[in-house]
Amino acid sequence: MLHRLLRGLLAAALAAAALLAPDAPAAEAAGPSGPGCDPLAPAECLLPFPNDWYTRPDPATDTGRRVSFGAATLPPAAAGRPVDPTAWNRSDGFSPGSTLIAHVPGLDPAATGTAPLTDIGRSLAPDAPVVLIDTRTGERWPYWAEADANATDPARRALLIHPARNFRDGHRYAVALRHLKDGAGRTIPAAEPFAAVAGRPLPAGHPLYARQRQLRPALKALHRAGVGSEGTYLAWDFTVASTRSLTGDLFTVRDDAFRRLGDRSPAFAVTGVTDFTAEQAPRIAREVTGRISVPGYLDLPGGPPGSVLHRGHDGLPRRLPGSSQLAEFRCEIPRSAFRTPSHPALYGHGLLGRRSEVGAGNVKAMAAEHNFTFCATDWIGMAEEDVPVVLGALADPNLFPAVPERSEQGMLNALFLARALIHADGLTTDAAFRDADGRLLLDLRHGIGYDGNSQGGILGGALVAASPDIRRGVLGVTGMNYGLLLNRSVDFAPFQQVLDLSYPDKLRQQIVLQLFQMVWDRGETNAYANHLTDRHQVLMHIAYGDHQVANAAADVEARTIGARLITPVLAPGRSPDTVPYWGIRTVASGRLPYRGSAMTVWDSGTPTPPLTNTPPAGPVYGHDPHSDPRNSPAARQQKATFLTTGRVINVCGNTPCTAAPTS
């Protein structure tokens, strides 16, 4: 059904974008920076990115700075409507997972010796041509760098620098590009503006005087790290948003909603109970549907698609007076629950999906094999009904804040469902959650778990981080962040068509994706990752060669949250990396069970994914293993033990974990 809906809406979106595109060609034409843009990068405004040139001092924020995009700074789409920077300017810094973007005409990364995805360790070499420095600690930061493989104009090809683990919340980083080479091995000289700024002090009246003063602390930090100005092509600095800036919206909504709730259960109504015979459903005995009443924090009553958070004069989210969100839910109760009370758990559905995915075969198998009752609600903001808004946002970024902000209401809906499931006066007071003798079908003694796949894994880390009730979560075929994932996912292909019409220039597209990530952070794991495992445990299940959620993004997440890698991982020679899973600490199979957060890689024999920022599309990449881990009985056993005991067990013996390919 989603695919049919997507095809219809995509056709409409493409037609609309095609009509709009000719109306404003000047908005998309490649040209020099305008007023307010960084004079160090005349090819395109907002470059290099992220960049403290686009912030201002603000003593009221945790970083002492605030993003300050001007009214004409953000690139308009082909429709030509200016992009309102308000949602971006709420931040006191940039995304902790931000890809750094620079434009270096003629650059040859291989000749330069930049660290590729297969050799992240090279990024920390003393002579590395790209240097990232945490200016607070002096620490060199790991990354991989690549030329944008999607660029159609070599003269407009972006250099993309991806942090190998997220930058620290609230810290400032200095960046240097040095000793860069072209395809013939010739050194690329610094552009004239940077050469002037990095040189002798400029007089107060010079056009670059302000830029030189602003950049001076970054150049000093680089100098202390042994990076001088000689041979440097470009340098700049940026501030990462603080934890409060990144998580404040969701935590404000959560805290207010649970304060209102007090020690009560959320109000609920059971709307349907279906009992199945063993012949109808051998694994599931009962399906229960209903709705939970949740305070509404979106700006339109009922919070329909396209809503954003209702905010007070202080800019913080506030409940819309009198507004409630009715979160529809569905629960699958296994037959085993009628013998022994089952473990309650939330299930997180996939990309732009629905709560009905809790009825998928793999979820029913997990429920039946390990006595779980799984319940799900639509992850509004990224649910099927939000597809028109997501497509529209690619044509007009003014619509984009609705995606993460409605997702935050969706997370609150799930948090209230979790509370209703485990509260003594909650759902278990209804006959739907008891057997014919009135005995409870849920075991309320050990809290509630979370299991999500794909989008349910990508957003699920934020849900786990925010939950007062969930202590452990399984993030299946997961990764972060969308700004890194989209270029590398086959799922993005239909959306890419709209983006191509809205932003034909590929260099500008990369900027737009990172701008999206700045506000998307608040509604996905990326913003919460640096502190996700402070109080919670997560188990990541990864499909090697995943066509939909790139392994590179999962590795960044594992490094950031401190997840231990379960070994052995892959068969010898399977990985193209110089040091496979560089920077991820391991747990040998003989030292299991392990108590903590971990990552298990499941190999279905799929070819290694591309080493560029492109999706594994086409026959050469074989079977998509995206669904294989969840369909593996061994993987389900590992998940169940983790959710119920907090222990990561050895389910693969002394060999790498494998999963049979599923159709």
pLDDT of residue 257: 98
pLDDT of residue 209: 96
The answer to whether the CB of 552 falls within 8 A of the CB of 616 is no
Q: In the predicted model, what is the mean pLDDT of the chain?
A: 94
pLDDT of residue 34: 66
For residue 251 the two structure tokens come to 């935590």
| Residue-wise pLDDT tens digits, 578-632 | 999 999 999 987 889 999 999 999 999 999 999 999 999 999 999 999 999 999 9
pLDDT of residue 642: 98
pLDDT of residue 31: 40
CA dihedral defined by 461, 466, 469, 472, rounded to 10 degrees? 20
pLDDT of residue 27: 36
Could you tell me which of 245, 312, 545, 502 has the C-alpha nearest to residue 391? Answer: 502
For residue 628 the two structure tokens come to 């294989």
CA distance 441 to 337: 5
Percent of the chain with pLDDT over 70: 95
pLDDT of residue 637: 98
**24 burial level (CB within 10 Å; 0-12, 13-18, 19+):** middle
Residue entry with tokens 């500008």: 508
Give the E-state strand segments of 31-89 in sequence order: 55-57, 65-67
| Residue-wise pLDDT tens digits, 274-309 | 999 999 999 999 999 999 999 999 999 999 999 999
For residue 248 the two structure tokens come to 């404040």
**Residue ranges, the chain, pLDDT below 70:** 1-34
Domain coordinates in residue numbering, the chain: 28-241, 243-448
pLDDT of residue 23: 42
pLDDT of residue 536: 97
| Residue-wise pLDDT tens digits, 424-443 | 999 999 999 999 999 999 99
CA distance 643 to 451: 9
